A and B are shown apart, each in its own frame.
Chain A
Amino acid sequence: MKKIELHTPISEKNIRKLNVGDRVFLSGTIITARDSAHRRMMKYIAEKRSIPFPLEGMALYHCGPLVKAHGDEWLVLAAGPTTSMRMEPFEAEIIENLGVRLIIGKGGMGGKTREAMKRYGAAYAAFTGGAAVLAAKRIKRVIDVKWLDLGLPEAVWIFEADRFGPLIIGIDSYGRSLYEEVRAKTLRRLNRIVEDRDL
């Protein structure tokens, strides 16, 4: 298991160096987006409107943080990942059109996203679900927030991060998915359990 330090903007070359199972720490800009923000990005892409935050070479984080207003600033209290699979219908197009290099989330993503990652040079990194205080500790400040009308968890938060991690590469840019590999193994074990116990 390699340990890798990454900085945004991330180049295609650096993404292609990552393999499933690698341990990554990410510094630079992390942009959050959940369901509503994804739907709005898709709308912007369809209408050929420019999106009010930069995604080229950036890390997109499936996260609806717990934040607190402090004077003019926002404090990030807890910012763990949300289930990435909900974004599966959108992510391939987001990667293709907006040049995102790293998707951070939990639970993994499906075949459509895996193929887009292979084709356009992107990867999926898992952050431990629920480890939200640990995640918030690595977020140094809120650079900006967009689309606040979507509500606090659904808004797009632009974070500056310092060694955000540990992240585990779950899908790499070569079409390998740790999730699919674990799933295949668990299905084989399930069949064996069912046979052994005559269920």
Chain B
Amino acid sequence: MEKIFKLDEEDEYYVPFSRLAENLDLRNLIEKLTVNLLRLAVTELPADVKKALKDAYRKERNPIGKIQLKAILENIQLAEEERIPICQDTGLISFYVKVGSEFRGLSKIEEALIEGVKRATVEIPLRPNAVNPFTQRNTDNNTGRHVPCIHWSIIDGNYLEITAFPKGGGSENMCALRILKPAEGLSGLKRFIIESVVNAGGMPCPPTIIGVGVGGTSDMAMNLAKKALLRPINKSHSDPFIAELERDLLRAVNSTGVGPMGLGGDSTALALKIEYAHRHPASYPVAIAFQCWAARRATARVYSDGRVECLSHKDRNLV
């Protein structure tokens, strides 16, 4: 016996009756998915990042920079073949979760994500990276107060979308926020971005992806800068003015000569992405978020009936 679900205009699909939500152990499904998403994220870069790194290697003219990019490409291949984390710093774990308003099982998601992180720490393994800032104790399982960091958003639809975003400490340490004077405006913004890249030098493991958040409140600016890092490399901002600003700033940043690992060269950033919000008349917040070349992310969509689809990597079975 089969039942038809209608997802959107084009996508009609069939689900056997036995797999319907009543019988589904959504809690376990999401926990298992969390482990597998983290495994995929830390061992295999998305295709857009791999392509950008290969292009950077081809174009790099500085011999030391070229050695760095070659080591990076070899490392990516080894990690992928042997299913070992690309970098020993498997990051402080963040999740970006979009929940469809019609998705059933909302109450189970957070618990499943946290348990999934604990399991992933042992099973993959991940380096234990959650430390109490006052006692300096490591929890040894990558969870703790407000960790993993879970960013929720509510969307239309009957599905759940989880992005696992393990981000290393080296690039995170270079993130910066400045509240510009509104009079400084666009040129102040450009100057702040280029200065930040030069000041960061090799610390965030260039070639980086640079996320820029403009406007809103101070916390929103940084949040937008981080969200900009989630956008695929080949995707420009939908607003042509912002898209041109992204291209222009990327060219400027790559003309600084910081180069791979800050040892000099042409490839300082693989991409630069901007997101913005409207601002207060008195404030012009600009946030810059650096992502190291090991720009790890993996995204999956879960439907209420338990069907799982991998969005970040092609043809992956995640549960």
Contacts and interface: CB of A to CB of B under 8 A. Distances in A.
Interface of A: 1, 21, 23, 36, 63-66, 68, 77-80, 82-83, 85, 106-108, 126, 128-134, 136-137, 151-153, 166, 168, 170, 178-179, 181-183, 185-187, 189-190, 193-194, 197-199
Contacts of A189: 198, 255-257
Given A83-B203, A131-B71, A134-B78, A106 B261 contact: yes
Contacts of B136: 36
Contacts of A130: 72, 75, 86-87, 89, 168, 205, 292-294
A199 B88 contact: no
A112 to B, nearest CB: 17
Contact of B63 (A1, A106, A126, A134): A1
A126 B78 contact: no
Most-contacted residue by chain B among A108, A130, A137, A185 (CB, 10 A):
A130
B85 A78 contact: yes
Contacts of A168: 64, 67-68, 263
A182 B259 CA distance: 9
Contacts of A64: 88-89, 127
B38 to A, nearest CB: 13
A133 B64 contact: no
B88 to A, nearest CB: 4
Contacts of A36: 136
A98 B149 CA distance: 41
Given A66-B90, A128-B75, A78 B84 contact: yes
Interface string B101-135: 00000000000000000000000011111000000
B173 interface: yes
A137 B170 CA distance: 22
Contacts of B285: none
A80 B88 contact: yes
B274 to A, nearest CB: 16
A126 B127 contact: no
Given A77-B85, A78-B88, A132-B88, A151 B190 contact: no
A103 B181 CA distance: 43
A185 B68 contact: no
Interface of B: 63-64, 67-68, 71-72, 74-75, 78-79, 82, 84-90, 125-129, 136, 138, 140, 168-170, 173, 187-188, 190-191, 194-195, 198, 201-203, 205, 252, 255-264, 292-294
A186 B200 CA distance: 11
B198 A132 contact: no
A21 B67 CA distance: 11
A186 B64 contact: no
23 contacts: A1-B63, A36-B136, A66-B88, A66-B90, A66-B127, A68-B125, A83-B203, A85-B203, A126-B263, A129-B170, A129-B292, A130-B87, A130-B205, A130-B292, A132-B87, A133-B78, A151-B140, A152-B138, A181-B264, A182-B259, A187-B198, A190-B256, A193-B252
Nearest to A129: B205
Given A189-B256, A199-B187, 5 more contacts: A63-B88, A66-B127, A132-B88, A134-B78, A152-B138
Contacts of A78: 79, 84-88
A199 B187 CA distance: 5
